[in-house]
Amino acid sequence: MPNNRRRLTGRVISDKMQKTVVVEVETTQQHRLYGKVIRTSKRYMAHDESNAISVGSQVRIVESQPLSRRKRWVVEDVIFAPTEAAAEAAEIQQELDAEPIQAEQAPAEEEPAEQAEAEE
């Protein structure tokens, strides 16, 4: 009997749950009238038995029987796993993007000190 289960390839965007990863699958379609390329993305919760897949990994997921309320996919294969340094950099970047940006104030005391040194 052939294995007719759907398989999708996507990128892991969250691994904060136990034995579960959130995989974002991006698809492109061309608009039927205007021809513009439209990108859509969908998020799937997938089961990760090893609990070792990190954020940024490229994975292949396959349909399965329902494992929980929202989890109906299982990670079949890790196609690309980033290095630990790259994963940490991605996490830091996400934290920086989440923080509000504060305007930096230029120190006012440095200018007179530089002028005083220039006069001497």
Residues 5-17: tens digit of each pLDDT: 999 999 999 999 9
The reported pLDDT for the residue numbered 94 is: 74
Give the H/E segment covering residue 93: helix 84-98
E strands along 32-120, which residues? 37-47, 58-63, 71-80
Do 20 and 64 contact (CB within 8 A), yes or no? no
| Whether the predicted pLDDT of 48 surpasses 70 | yes
Give how far Cα 89 sits from Cα of 17, 23, 50, 93, 116, Å. 20, 19, 23, 6, 42
Strand partners, 22: 14, 45
Give the per-residue pLDDT at 89.
73
Domain 1-87 fold is OB fold (Dihydrolipoamide Acetyltransferase, E2P) (2.40.50)
Answer yes or no: pTM beyond 0.75: no
Predicted local distance difference test score (pLDDT) of residue 82? 85
Model pLDDT, residue 70: 96
Structure tokens at 117: 């040194």
What are 63's two structure tokens?
Answer: 């349909």
The mean pLDDT of 16-27, rounded to a whole number, is: 97
Which amino acid is residue 62, in one-letter code? V
Asked if the model's pLDDT at residue 76 lies above 80, the reply is yes
Domains of the chain, by residue range, sit at: 1-87
